[in-house]
Structure 1
Amino acid sequence: MKKHLLTGLMASVALPSFAAGVHGDIEELLVTGRASAPPLQGRAEAASAGTVLAHQLEHRPILRPAEILETIPGMVITQHSGGGKANQYFLRGFNLDHSTDFATFIEGAPVNMVTHGHGQGYSDLNFLIPELIDSMVYRKGPYYADSGDFASAGSSHISYASAKQGHTLKLSIGEDGYRRALLLGGGDTSSGNWVYGLSKMENDGPWSHPDALKRDNVFLKHTWGHAEGGLSLSALYFDSRWNGTDQIPQRYVDSGQLNRFDSLDTGTGGDTHRYQLAINQWLTLADDKRLQTNAYIVDYALQLTGNFTYYANDPVNGDQVTQFDDRLLYGGGVSYEWELSPTHKLQLGSDLRHDNIKDVGVGKSIDRRIYAMDSRASVEETSFSAHSSILSQWTPALASTVGLRYDHMEVDVTDRLNNADSGRRDEQLLSPKLSLRADLSEHTALFLNYGQGYHSNDARGVVGGDVPLMSESEGYEIGVTNSTVAGLQLSVVAFRLALDSELVFVGDDGTTEAKDASRRTGIELSAYYRPTDWLIVDADYTQSEATFSSGEFTGQNVPDSVEDVFSAGLSLESGRGYYGGLRIRYFGPRNLTESGDRKSDATTVVNANLGMQFAVGLALSVEVLNLFDSDDNDITYWYESRPTPTADLQEDYHSHPMIPRTLRATLTYHF
């Protein structure tokens, strides 16, 4: 939809990036595998922006596909239910839930879902095939004119490869019923390049009631053209189903009534699909003018059954609910840029997205069968944006980007249970942006960033609950990068982000929960060190504070926000056939209540892998997840529950554990 999102042209332009990101300034690259364009001058980005390339993911140990986002410094990916559900995302003092304020795109198509059956901004990345990823551009903060809905905390734009030579077969097996088969490859034709990927995975996990997770993935892509002009067409198929393993009360674990891997409702789980077509085009015109367009269409559905309070609300039938979502979304964008002078470049763009949500709602259920509908609606939601930026190189050491974004959203809700909650709303918003870059020396750069942004709210809450369609945000950032020492790159970033409201639509009962305005402040430290060709060491630390800023919750904590995040790792490739990686991730205690009187424990996990490449095209690797068999939790909440019909209603910690130490082996054959 936007410049960085048009995957025909991978626009990683002068982005300083550290830790897991690519080091140094990045050229503007075509991902056709044929050519690269010259560096874009006048671009002032931020010390917190970067690019991750395929080789940085190749030997990285990961448990879930979405963990590729943990290459973004300070990002944490966890899970609190069955393995097929969208992950929990944490960044810059946000519990982003399923991604309310972090926007993600794949091949130019948005992943975040508006007015979703489970939660606003729901971002399911389980469809990813990590081995196909060519690059991921990430940017934090609302500082970019081409970033709109859900991008207040940041955004990522993921592109799959456009060219591969030969074919690769990977067969993986592991504990707890883990099995995966992957076939990928590509080649050249007289008209261009093609890439394909086929993946099938099954996993039960360590749970007493097996996950029975199944994922089927297919991806096809064909790219025509060259650096000056071309076209890519891609198709994505994803289908998944699973059993649920929701968090359980700590008092039942402490008493021995449950073990950490038990479930109180074995009738939960879900199924989902994403079918996507995307087309991306790029063309260089006379006088260095560049035109880029893209379009996409996505067929998406989810049915998700959960039970987090057990018998708290209904001691007879239980509190199980089933949420559903069935939609077709389509849209696209266009951007045009040209040099006004040797000093100034102008970028103009426009984006359109329409969600035809045919059926969305939630009902009370038993064993995933709904017996009483709580909410049900059909929704038409359309968003249109226009944005412009002027990129200026004032002196060899000083650059700026000044931007302005206009957004207009319209929603039309047809409530199928209560016509009084049907209706139309529309809203518009102007968001200014500013970025400055000053090169203090050959190896040191200073960045200053300011921007306003927003996230949209669930259309049902907007129409039925009279809440704003757009909740605004405002962010500031100052950062310094340094690369004085050969092979070592450092960055320090201080940030502040304020939200007008922490409005959250609660899909479990179809209501909107209004929170107060909030602010988040913090600091990020990142280091990327490559002392030799065969060794890379990276580390990052983020400290942040999230508080309500006015009204009823003045000075109190935003629940579930993470204050401290640390990650570090090393990867090596000996050049003699041996390779491996080791990673540690820590995220500290979290305030679970506004008063701060309840906190979660910290979570630490170490993952490792080791592999050997054979001359005949064979490779064997072993991956150990949770290397030291930590018994920490992936997620912890504090709320009331009644585990059995006759139990007392009681507040308690409710947790979902990390998997125990798990061994997986992969045989790879290149041909």
Structure 2
Amino acid sequence: MRTKKNSAFGSRCQAVTLGYTALACYVLLHGNVWAHEAEVRLAEVQVKGQSLDAVQPVFSVTEIGRDDLREQPRQEVESLWSQVPGMHVHHYQLSGVANGLVLRGFGGGGHGGDVAATLDGIPLNEATSHADGYFDLNVVVPLELDKVNVYRGPVSVLQGNYNRAGLVELRTRRSGSYTDVEVSAGSHGLWDTQAALGRGLEGGDQLNLAAQHSRGDGARPSSGFERSTLSGTWKHQVHEKLDISLSSRWHEARGDSPSYLTEAQWRQDPQGKDARVVGDGANKHFGTLRLDAQYALGGETRLLGFAYATQQDFVRWFTRPRGGSWMQREERYDRRVLGAGLNLSGKTAVAARELNWMLGLEQVRESTDYGYWDGLVNRQRMAAALDDRNTRLNNTALYGQGHWQAADWLQTSAALRWDHFDGSCRLLGTETGGDECHRMQGRSQASPKLGALAQLNARTAVRASWSQGFSLPSDFAKYALRNSDLSANLFRQTELGVQWKPSSQWLIDAAVYRITSSQEIRNTAPGEYENLGATLRKGAEMQLHWLPGPAWHLEWAYGYHRSEVTQNASAALLGRRVVAVPEYTSTLHARWMPRSDITVHGVLRHVGRSPINTSNTEWAASYHWIDLGLQYRLPAHMARNASLNLWLRNALDTRYASTTTLIGGQRLVAPGAPRSLQLGLQFSL
């Protein structure tokens, strides 16, 4: 079931460089260029699967809307994930490098392939990167977002290979007339400016723009960063049945990194830097272009055709323990993606009951030039590449989903996705790594999803679902001839959930899940893998809203995970927990409104301990922190929808490790952010 943040209670509250501000002012002063808002009524530009939004989902989906996004200044999208039951971010504190996500008992999202991510239908997961499925959400301007859906578990039919723990679906604003600006400044040289603009143009066109520039010095030595993003969408109405839209995005970022600390160093100086780390950091350029054509075939039936391209280059330098000393490595990725597809959706009657349906076809062709060097000295290569190669991964997918109102009280859903993969690997230069590099044998996989939702009464709805996901052999295993008989790793989820509204002051959404995996892929020797192993993930998640009085709103997001190995070649690992998955996560957010123009916030975050090695002899400690915030809505005569925000992050200056890991046999720590102050101004023109 889709849980809308704060939607049951209504909204509790309602960046940019000088050049972008000047653009906004130009738009306002030259009003004759724009059609009057009341005269333009545009249909929203859709992306694949969006036609089913009006249907109450039978799966667990957390929806974060625009009001939630604007509740406090946000420099990055992943600050939202603590609001999702059971979702957690392992902050590596490495500038320019994506952090790890935990969801549904999987610990390798974001920095690996456990979680899928799309932006307006464009996949963000990278087929070849630090690990298959890596994605970076810094390419998104938080202020441009209209809605974020987090599908928990392999329930979405819109993605395949990276969809085992869930899908993060981000949608930007594609309609409306608005000019929103957000400026933030804070400790450690933080400065962030964002702007989002939407206008209906003469002739029925629509224009939406967004921009962000963010920089900071960081709390640790050599941790400065700077990034900029521009995005835009233009929609043109060819005639009453046909709309076309063109969207594009450009992002560039650079950052320095102090790497990890040993645990002893961290206890002595929690924001220090190891003297052996010299020249770490990352640089990135990212661009996308997408063309959509939407045609109304008649009635509620629509045909959407789309094509997109992504161009990206990314380089990272990282120092860590290796072979008894600390060594710097360099990784380079030049990535090119071409995708195209068709999406047909509509409504029809089956047995006098409404059926909402969607069919899709999509092909994605991804090519990556990958280079890996080790033993560098301050970014200077000292030896030949371990890997210098090009990989290609092609994915053809067919998918369909139907939601049928079987009875007044019963909603059912059935979906099926079929994926076919093939690809190749070829050397670009001399390398010494030794991994096989050949043509990939074609692989196909079907992923069914079934669910039902019963509205027992006006206050109670229960849901049940079963879904299947998968993962391909990772990294270069799929390009090795000796591994041509490897099967995909399968994941099957069973979920039961309930949403209960005992009164107008309470809303409770809870779910329990069980995910089994089979045909786990394990490394048996250099370049050799086999299907042997299984895991069991089970847990409970809850989101609670409570209004104890007219001036109060309490929200609690909680998740408990138990992930363990049930089959392995090593009997000693049976029953052991999966690494990097906290036992529980909890976020309590209290809002108090002593006056209509003032909101006081308090956020308490708890994260349970998690194992950091497969034998579970090493654990990362549990931790907690508190954020305090104050929001003041400015008088309407000063600015429209304007507010000042003051936030004290980690108010008690708690020392904690945002990530604890083992590398080269050493226990390493990424220090949690210290206490910091942040002031923000939000307004609309």
Who is 1:460 aligned against? 476
Quote how far apart the aligned CAs of 1:42 are: 10
Determine whether 1:347 maps to 2:358: yes
Who is 2:511 aligned against? 493
Contact 1:415 1:422 in 2 (8 A): no
Q: Structure 1: how far apart are the matches of 2:270 and 2:595?
A: 45
Deviations for 1:137-175, whole angstroms, at most 9, x for unmatched residues?
Answer: 221112333331211111121111124545344332211
Deviations for 1:32-55, whole angstroms, at most 9, x for unmatched residues?
Answer: 985689996995633521321110
Quote how far apart the aligned CAs of 1:422 are: 2.5
Who is 2:678 aligned against? 664
Determine whether 1:471 maps to 2:484: no
Any gaps of 5 or more consecutive residues in structure 2? 11-39
Q: 1:501 to 1:659 in 2, by over 3 A?
A: farther
Determine whether 1:524 maps to 2:541: yes
Who is 2:644 aligned against? 620
Q: 1:408 to 1:235 in 2, by over 3 A?
A: same
Q: Structure 1: how far apart are the matches of 2:122 and 2:51?
A: 26
Q: Where do residues 149-168 of structure 1 align in structure 2 (5 Å cutoff)?
A: 149-163=161-175, 165-168=177-180
Deviations for 1:533-587, whole angstroms, at most 9, x for unmatched residues?
Answer: 8754321211111111112232222112121111121346777433453322211
Q: 1:353 to 1:581 in 2, by over 3 A?
A: farther
Q: 1:206 to 1:406 in 2, by over 3 A?
A: same
Find 1:427's aligned residue among 429, 440, 443. 443
Q: Where do residues 237-636 of structure 1 align in structure 2 (5 Å cutoff)?
A: 237-254=250-267, 256=268, 259-263=270-274, 264-309=276-321, 312-313=322-323, 315=325, 318-338=326-346, 339=348, 341=350, 342-343=352-353, 344-372=355-383, 373-416=385-428, 417=431, 421-458=437-474, 460-464=476-480, 466=483, 468=486, 470-500=488-518, 503=521, 516-529=533-546, 536-551=553-568, 552=570, 553-571=573-591, 576-615=596-635, 616-617=638-639, 619-636=643-660
TM-score, scaled to structure 2? 0.85
Q: Where do residues 123-272 of structure 1 align in structure 2 (5 Å cutoff)?
A: 123-163=135-175, 165-190=177-202, 191-207=204-220, 209-225=221-237, 230-254=243-267, 256=268, 259-263=270-274, 264-272=276-284
Quote how far apart the aligned CAs of 1:242 are: 0.6
Q: 1:652 to 1:349 in 2, by over 3 A?
A: same
% identity of equivalent residues: 17
Quote how far apart the aligned CAs of 1:602 are: 0.8
Contact 1:51 1:135 in 2 (8 A): yes
Contact 2:305 2:343 in 1 (8 A): yes
Letter in structure 2 aligned against 1:658: G
Contact 1:623 1:663 in 2 (8 A): yes
TM-score, scaled to structure 1? 0.86
Q: Structure 1: how far apart are the matches of 2:601 and 2:498?
A: 28
Secondary structure of the 1:596 match is coil
Q: 1:56 to 1:363 in 2, by over 3 A?
A: same
Deviations for 1:496-535, whole angstroms, at most 9, x for unmatched residues?
Answer: 11223555899xx999899832221111121124567875
Secondary structure of the 2:207 match is strand
Q: Structure 2: how far apart are the matches of 1:167 and 1:574?
A: 29
Secondary structure of the 1:421 match is coil
Determine whether 1:16 maps to 2:2: yes
Secondary structure of the 1:96 match is strand
Secondary structure of the 2:2 match is coil
Q: Structure 2: how far apart are the matches of 1:545 and 1:266?
A: 39
Q: Structure 1: how far apart are the matches of 2:305 and 2:68?
A: 29
Q: Structure 1: how far apart are the matches of 2:149 and 2:647?
A: 27
Who is 1:4 aligned against? none
Contact 1:571 1:582 in 2 (8 A): yes
Quote how far apart the aligned CAs of 1:628 are: 1.7
Who is 2:668 aligned against? 654
Any gaps of 5 or more consecutive residues in structure 1? 1-14, 26-31, 641-650
Quote how far apart the aligned CAs of 1:105 are: 0.6
Q: Structure 1: how far apart are the matches of 2:241 and 2:555?
A: 36
Indicate the structure whose relative CO is greater, using CA pairs within 8 Å and at least 6 residues apart: 1
Secondary structure of the 2:503 match is coil
Contact 1:405 1:432 in 2 (8 A): yes
Q: Structure 1: how far apart are the matches of 2:314 and 2:523?
A: 17
Letter in structure 2 aligned against 1:200: H
Deviations for 1:383-422, whole angstroms, at most 9, x for unmatched residues?
Answer: 0111123332221112211222211001111134369533
Quote how far apart the aligned CAs of 1:243 are: 0.9
Quote how far apart the aligned CAs of 1:668 are: 4.0
Letter in structure 1 aligned against 2:381: I
Q: Structure 1: how far apart are the matches of 2:62 and 2:648?
A: 28
Quote how far apart the aligned CAs of 1:313 are: 1.4
Q: 1:533 to 1:215 in 2, by over 3 A?
A: farther
Q: Structure 2: how far apart are the matches of 1:84 and 1:513?
A: 34
Contact 2:155 2:166 in 1 (8 A): no
Quote how far apart the aligned CAs of 1:355 are: 0.4
More off after superposition, 585-594 vs 570-579: 570-579
Letter in structure 2 aligned against 1:542: G
Q: Structure 1: how far apart are the matches of 2:547 and 2:41?
A: 25
Contact 1:173 1:666 in 2 (8 A): yes
Letter in structure 1 aligned against 2:512: A
Quote how far apart the aligned CAs of 1:269 are: 0.8
Deviations for 1:200-254, whole angstroms, at most 9, x for unmatched residues?
Answer: 11111110x2312010111112234599764432211110011112221113344
Q: Structure 1: how far apart are the matches of 2:523 and 2:683?
A: 47
Contact 1:361 1:377 in 2 (8 A): no
Q: Structure 2: how far apart are the matches of 1:504 and 1:320?
A: 27
Determine whether 1:75 maps to 2:87: yes
Secondary structure of the 1:623 match is strand
Contact 1:250 1:653 in 2 (8 A): yes
Contact 2:487 2:519 in 1 (8 A): no
Letter in structure 2 aligned against 1:625: R
Contact 1:446 1:480 in 2 (8 A): yes
Contact 1:457 1:505 in 2 (8 A): no
Q: Structure 1: how far apart are the matches of 2:448 and 2:479?
A: 28
Q: 1:35 to 1:606 in 2, by over 3 A?
A: farther
Letter in structure 2 aligned against 1:664: Q
Letter in structure 2 aligned against 1:564: Y
